[in-house]
Copies of this chain bind each other. A is one copy, B any other.
Protein backbone atom coordinates (compact mmCIF):
# COMPACT_ATOMS: atom_id res chain seq x y z
CA UNK A 1 0.00 0.00 0.00
CA UNK A 2 2.72 2.40 1.07
CA UNK A 3 4.69 1.40 -2.00
CA UNK A 4 1.70 2.05 -4.23
CA UNK A 5 1.32 5.53 -2.77
CA UNK A 6 5.00 6.27 -3.33
CA UNK A 7 4.84 5.06 -6.92
CA UNK A 8 1.78 7.25 -7.55
CA UNK A 9 3.64 10.20 -6.01
CA UNK A 10 6.73 9.56 -8.13
CA UNK A 11 4.67 9.25 -11.33
CA UNK A 12 2.81 12.43 -10.40
CA UNK A 13 6.06 14.36 -9.76
CA UNK A 14 7.47 13.10 -13.05
CA UNK A 15 4.30 14.34 -14.77
CA UNK A 16 4.70 17.72 -13.09
CA UNK A 17 8.31 17.86 -14.27
CA UNK A 18 7.43 16.90 -17.88
CA UNK A 19 4.69 19.52 -18.17
CA UNK A 20 6.84 22.12 -16.37
CA UNK A 21 9.64 21.62 -18.92
CA UNK A 22 7.12 22.09 -21.75
CA UNK A 23 5.99 25.34 -20.09
CA UNK A 24 9.56 26.61 -19.65
CA UNK A 25 10.39 25.73 -23.27
CA UNK A 26 7.36 27.70 -24.48
CA UNK A 27 8.46 30.57 -22.21
CA UNK A 28 11.93 30.43 -23.78
CA UNK A 29 10.52 30.41 -27.32
CA UNK A 30 8.29 33.40 -26.56
CA UNK A 31 11.21 35.36 -25.06
CA UNK A 32 9.89 35.42 -21.47
CA UNK A 33 12.40 36.00 -18.66
CA UNK A 34 13.52 33.40 -16.11
CA UNK A 35 10.77 34.35 -13.63
CA UNK A 36 8.10 34.08 -16.35
CA UNK A 37 9.62 30.69 -17.23
CA UNK A 38 9.31 29.50 -13.61
CA UNK A 39 5.73 30.81 -13.38
CA UNK A 40 4.57 29.28 -16.68
CA UNK A 41 6.33 26.03 -15.79
CA UNK A 42 4.60 25.98 -12.39
CA UNK A 43 1.21 26.80 -13.89
CA UNK A 44 1.46 24.02 -16.49
CA UNK A 45 3.03 21.47 -14.16
CA UNK A 46 0.77 22.09 -11.17
CA UNK A 47 -2.42 23.48 -12.78
CA UNK A 48 -3.97 20.23 -13.99
CA UNK A 49 -3.36 18.49 -10.66
CA UNK A 50 -4.78 21.42 -8.65
CA UNK A 51 -7.98 21.32 -10.74
CA UNK A 52 -8.13 17.52 -10.22
CA UNK A 53 -7.69 17.81 -6.45
CA UNK A 54 -10.29 20.59 -6.19
CA UNK A 55 -12.80 18.48 -8.11
CA UNK A 56 -12.33 15.29 -6.07
CA UNK A 57 -12.69 17.45 -2.95
CA UNK A 58 -9.56 16.03 -1.32
CA UNK A 59 -8.77 18.99 0.92
CA UNK A 60 -5.82 21.26 0.11
CA UNK A 61 -4.41 20.21 -3.32
CA UNK A 62 -1.14 18.26 -3.21
CA UNK A 63 0.73 21.12 -4.91
CA UNK A 64 -0.10 23.35 -1.92
CA UNK A 65 0.28 20.82 0.90
CA UNK A 66 3.39 18.88 -0.14
CA UNK A 67 6.47 21.13 -0.60
CA UNK A 68 8.04 18.45 -2.86
CA UNK A 69 5.78 19.68 -5.67
CA UNK A 70 7.75 22.94 -5.91
CA UNK A 71 10.93 21.10 -6.89
CA UNK A 72 10.04 19.89 -10.43
CA UNK A 73 9.11 23.39 -11.74
CA UNK A 74 12.31 24.83 -10.20
CA UNK A 75 14.41 22.08 -11.82
CA UNK A 76 12.61 22.59 -15.14
CA UNK A 77 13.29 26.35 -15.20
CA UNK A 78 16.96 25.78 -14.30
CA UNK A 79 17.33 22.99 -16.88
CA UNK A 80 15.88 25.11 -19.68
CA UNK A 81 17.99 28.10 -18.56
CA UNK A 82 21.32 26.26 -18.49
CA UNK A 83 21.00 23.47 -21.06
CA UNK A 84 19.11 24.80 -24.04
CA UNK A 85 20.61 27.34 -26.35
CA UNK A 86 19.69 25.84 -29.70
CA UNK A 87 16.35 27.36 -30.64
CA UNK A 88 15.65 24.97 -33.48
CA UNK A 89 14.85 21.96 -31.32
CA UNK A 90 12.50 23.80 -28.94
CA UNK A 91 9.34 22.83 -30.81
CA UNK A 92 10.10 19.10 -30.95
CA UNK A 93 11.31 18.92 -27.35
CA UNK A 94 8.17 20.76 -26.24
CA UNK A 95 5.99 18.09 -27.89
CA UNK A 96 8.01 15.25 -26.30
CA UNK A 97 7.86 16.64 -22.75
CA UNK A 98 4.22 17.58 -23.22
CA UNK A 99 3.50 13.97 -24.28
CA UNK A 100 5.25 12.74 -21.13
CA UNK A 101 3.06 14.93 -18.94
CA UNK A 102 -0.07 13.85 -20.85
CA UNK A 103 0.78 10.14 -20.42
CA UNK A 104 1.64 10.34 -16.73
CA UNK A 105 -1.26 12.61 -15.73
CA UNK A 106 -3.97 10.61 -17.51
CA UNK A 107 -2.82 7.63 -15.41
CA UNK A 108 -2.36 9.40 -12.06
CA UNK A 109 -5.54 11.48 -12.55
CA UNK A 110 -7.67 8.41 -13.25
CA UNK A 111 -6.11 6.45 -10.37
CA UNK A 112 -6.72 9.30 -7.92
CA UNK A 113 -10.34 9.63 -9.12
CA UNK A 114 -10.94 5.90 -8.53
CA UNK A 115 -9.20 6.09 -5.15
CA UNK A 116 -11.63 8.84 -4.12
CA UNK A 117 -14.63 6.77 -5.15
CA UNK A 118 -15.66 8.41 -8.43
CA UNK A 119 -17.65 6.19 -10.80
CA UNK A 120 -15.76 4.79 -13.83
CA UNK A 121 -17.21 7.29 -16.35
CA UNK A 122 -16.31 10.26 -14.13
CA UNK A 123 -12.88 8.76 -13.42
CA UNK A 124 -12.13 8.69 -17.16
CA UNK A 125 -13.41 12.27 -17.53
CA UNK A 126 -11.22 13.43 -14.63
CA UNK A 127 -8.18 11.57 -15.97
CA UNK A 128 -8.58 13.32 -19.33
CA UNK A 129 -9.21 16.68 -17.60
CA UNK A 130 -6.01 16.29 -15.54
CA UNK A 131 -4.03 15.24 -18.60
CA UNK A 132 -5.15 18.00 -20.96
CA UNK A 133 -5.70 20.71 -18.30
CA UNK A 134 -2.08 21.74 -17.83
CA UNK A 135 -1.37 22.05 -21.54
CA UNK A 136 -4.60 23.97 -22.08
CA UNK A 137 -3.63 26.45 -19.34
CA UNK A 138 -0.16 26.77 -20.88
CA UNK A 139 -1.42 27.55 -24.37
CA UNK A 140 -4.26 29.86 -23.28
CA UNK A 141 -1.97 31.81 -20.93
CA UNK A 142 0.75 32.20 -23.53
CA UNK A 143 -1.87 33.25 -26.11
CA UNK A 144 -1.34 30.24 -28.39
CA UNK A 145 -4.08 28.21 -30.09
CA UNK A 146 -4.38 25.24 -27.69
CA UNK A 147 -2.61 22.16 -29.05
CA UNK A 148 -5.66 20.19 -27.97
CA UNK A 149 -7.75 21.85 -30.70
CA UNK A 150 -5.24 21.51 -33.54
CA UNK A 151 -7.10 19.44 -36.19
CA UNK A 152 -3.82 18.32 -37.78
CA UNK A 153 -2.90 16.49 -34.61
CA UNK A 154 -4.20 13.72 -32.32
CA UNK A 155 -3.82 14.87 -28.73
CA UNK A 156 -6.70 13.95 -26.45
CA UNK A 157 -7.42 10.48 -27.90
CA UNK A 158 -4.34 8.86 -26.29
CA UNK A 159 -5.39 10.35 -22.94
CA UNK A 160 -8.94 8.98 -23.37
CA UNK A 161 -7.53 5.56 -24.25
CA UNK A 162 -5.13 5.60 -21.29
CA UNK A 163 -7.80 6.63 -18.78
CA UNK A 164 -10.11 3.93 -20.17
CA UNK A 165 -7.38 1.27 -19.80
CA UNK A 166 -6.65 2.32 -16.20
CA UNK A 167 -10.36 1.97 -15.34
CA UNK A 168 -10.40 -1.43 -17.06
CA UNK A 169 -7.33 -2.62 -15.13
CA UNK A 170 -8.91 -1.42 -11.91
CA UNK A 171 -12.23 -3.17 -12.67
CA UNK A 172 -10.47 -6.51 -13.19
CA UNK A 173 -8.16 -6.05 -10.21
CA UNK A 174 -5.08 -5.93 -12.44
CA UNK A 175 -4.01 -2.45 -11.43
CA UNK A 176 -0.42 -2.42 -10.11
CA UNK A 177 2.85 -0.55 -10.57
CA UNK A 178 3.78 -2.41 -13.73
CA UNK A 179 0.46 -2.33 -15.56
CA UNK A 180 -0.21 1.35 -14.85
CA UNK A 181 3.34 2.36 -15.78
CA UNK A 182 2.83 0.27 -18.93
CA UNK A 183 -0.32 2.24 -19.75
CA UNK A 184 1.60 5.51 -19.32
CA UNK A 185 4.32 4.23 -21.67
CA UNK A 186 1.70 3.17 -24.24
CA UNK A 187 -0.05 6.56 -24.09
CA UNK A 188 3.30 8.28 -24.58
CA UNK A 189 4.12 6.07 -27.58
CA UNK A 190 0.63 6.58 -29.07
CA UNK A 191 0.92 10.36 -28.75
CA UNK A 192 4.42 10.50 -30.22
CA UNK A 193 3.50 8.21 -33.14
CA UNK A 194 0.36 10.26 -33.85
CA UNK A 195 2.52 13.39 -33.96
CA UNK A 196 5.37 11.91 -36.01
CA UNK A 197 3.10 10.35 -38.63
CA UNK A 198 0.52 13.17 -38.60
CA UNK A 199 -2.42 10.96 -37.73
CA UNK A 200 -5.70 12.81 -37.46
CA UNK A 201 -9.42 12.35 -36.79
CA UNK A 202 -12.49 13.64 -38.71
CA UNK A 203 -13.41 17.32 -38.47
CA UNK A 204 -16.25 18.62 -36.28
CA UNK A 205 -18.67 18.68 -39.20
CA UNK A 206 -19.28 15.74 -41.52
CA UNK A 207 -18.26 16.20 -45.11
CA UNK A 208 -15.80 19.02 -44.52
CA UNK A 209 -12.31 18.51 -45.80
CA UNK A 210 -9.07 20.13 -44.86
Contact = CB atoms under 8 A, between A and B. Distances in A.
Contact of A142 (B84, B126, B149, B201): B149
B145 A84 contact: no
Contacts of A203: 28, 31-34
Interface residues on A, range: 35 or more
Nearest to A42: B125
Nearest to A137: B140
A55 B57 contact: no
Given A70-B121, A125-B64, A149-B40, A205 B81 contact: yes
A157 interface: yes
B35 A156 contact: yes
Given A32-B149, A151-B32, A204 B143 contact: no
A141 to B, nearest CB: 6
B80 A33 contact: no
Interface in A65-84: 65, 67, 70, 77, 80-82, 84
Interface of A: 24, 27-28, 30-37, 39-40, 42, 50, 54-57, 59-61, 63-65, 67, 70, 77, 80-82, 84-85, 113, 116, 118-119, 121-122, 125-126, 132, 136, 140-143, 145-146, 148-151, 154-157, 200-208, 210
8 closest pairs, A vs B, by CB?
A: A37-B204, A67-B121, A28-B204, A33-B151, A36-B149, A28-B205, A27-B204, A64-B122
